[in-house]
Structure 1
């Protein structure tokens, strides 16, 4: 039986002090995929509306442990994406991601990753209309702000990537801040997409890309050939001290996702230590924390912070520093960044700390 909806894939002990701390902390979300953030009950509703038989209920829809196999994870992701078809569908899932999946966890600002290739047959303008409607409603109801990052599927051709960027440029809106690169790295080395990234640069779009399982050299490709201003995941950068030192000096941000990456055995070899994230922070890198594909990965913004608090002993000041890094790394303009940082500092000031991790006397 798959885990029940709402059950965290990485359980941690009950600790009221840590729970209160992470719940109160302000959060800035730079790595959250729209398709992967659809609540199980919403998936079931969409399937029913579109006449699709899932063969599962909301209680056993997501099998977190099976996502160690990236192919299985992407298969489920594609099924969900195929169910989000109409303007109202996109509006609903965006609104829910930003409110129940965001503002309710102290998220003040989120840059939502869209995957147009994951919605077969759906025109990009329809996607845009729906997500903008959902984002505006969420801001009106909760105050959360959102921008969007349009993801290129690296399993498709470089020409397809150029075509998608052309669509983004043709239908340019202020809320679409930039482009990204996702899906299986082994099937799409980053250099293949240099032309699409050059087109995005000429149009003034920001650029990021996933580098979760690739070698450290891929980080250099993202920076030097694709012109990325930040890197999604990037845990293996610490395997190369020269590249790590460069990224620390240049303040290249890395958007880390503890729970989902641990399932895939990237950020801590699947052992719950999250040692690579700790090594990145210790090396002086600019590191942000997010949830990637909640609840598909059995997590949420609060839980990812809770996991690090337990595994690494990080408390309010260390976790708040990661939120400040996220403000620095986000794609808002200077004025809006300053306003966001002021909100962060005000919330940190009222966040209760938790006792430090007790050393094992043995």
Structure 2
């Protein structure tokens, strides 16, 4: 099952296709095309859910049930096993799923616990090779974020952080916290996040379905400098005010979160994101797990443009928020900003030429 296309006029299509994009919330496992999963399953002799094919592997509408989505995500992770696999899925995600949509930069979420039995260095080496080849071929830049599985134990999370620090490379910028909040509340992982901070790693965490006080936990106990999703922040005026004042970035994913009924009401209104933007929060836009939710970097911006009436100015502001929210150093951030502003100016010039 696929999502129905969102109708948009030619000018919106021109804008969303040409808009430069900064990707801060995209999971590698969830970025793998169904055809690639089938190929890798065949390579490793794995039966996919009783013989599922590329045509029926992903059932987007069923992901309103988070557990069903995570089950399929685990299936995808289980067939990515060797360095060549990680190279392939990384390269495809960054090129066809990134540069082809004018993504200039991506911080890739890795999920080592989602690849049972695969050594950490195998994952990192394969992903790094894919990143380098993608940049050579398309110019897209990328870095890595290592995700901790909140459905696992606090001890396992701490052990993974120690592994990240032991095998630290410059391309790994920080850690995240994903999977189900209902099973793994953020405070459970404070030791792992403290260790990450001591090791010089940046920190973020998913906070999609939890209460507003989880945002406070992320900022004050876990030391996060970004929040992934975080739509419920607007339920707490004081927390909203604090995050506005401190310029805390929120990495929102319109299409996937709307299917899960977090960023709207499951009806494509994206009201939560509108409330966050209107409140002055630093909102960025990405695609989460694009093929698994029937979306891509262009389509997520299209969804907001159509639902909220956003034009170039509003969409470009979201891109520039993404530039500000990266974990790049000051030199690389300025270079990315120049690239993005140049492309936005070209889009604006095209708009004026048509007027």
| TM-score using structure 1 length | 0.95
**Structure 2: which 5+ residue stretches go unaligned?**
none
| Residues in 1 aligned to 2:302 and 2:264: alpha-carbon distance in whole angstroms | 16
SS at match of 1:296: helix
Q: Distance in 1 between matches of 2:7 and 2:333?
A: 35
Which residue in the other structure is 1:48 paired with?
42
Q: Which residue of 2 aligns with 1:317?
A: 313
Q: Distance in 1 between matches of 2:20 and 2:84?
A: 30
Q: How many residues align?
A: 349
1:286 paired to 2:282: yes
Aligned position for 2:129: 133
User: How much does 1:271 deviate?
Assistant: 1.4
Residue 301 of structure 1 corresponds to 297
Aligned match of 2:252: 256
Out of 333, 336, 355, the position equivalent to 1:337 is: 333
> How much does 1:10 deviate?
4.9
CA distance in 1, matches of 2:289, 2:262: 15
Equivalent of residue 85 in structure 1, options 69, 81, 88: 81
Q: Is the 8 A contact 2:25 2:108 kept in 1?
A: yes
Which residue in 2 is equivalent to 1:164? 160
For 2:19 and 2:254, locate their aligned partners in 1 and report how far apart those are by CA, in whole Å.
17
CA distance in 2, matches of 1:163, 1:53: 31
SS at match of 2:55: helix
Q: CA RMSD in A?
A: 1.1
Instruction: Find the counterpart in structure 1 of residue 19 from structure 2.
Output: 25
Q: Which residue of 1 aligns with 2:180?
A: 184
1:100 to 96, 100, 107: 96
1:90, distance to aligned residue in structure 2 (A): 0.3
Verify the 8 A CA contact 1:18 1:354 in the aligned structure 2: no
Contact 2:8 2:302 in 1 (8 A): no
Out of 277, 282, 292, the position equivalent to 2:273 is 277
Q: Which residue of 2 aligns with 1:6?
A: none
* Distance of 1:283 and 1:315 partners within structure 2: 18
Q: Is the 8 A contact 2:193 2:222 kept in 1?
A: yes
Partner of 2:67: 71
| CA displacement 1:166-208 (0-9 Å, x = unmatched) | 0000100000000000000000000010000010001100000
- Residues in 2 aligned to 1:15 and 1:79: alpha-carbon distance in whole angstroms: 38
Check if 1:145 corresponds to 2:141: yes
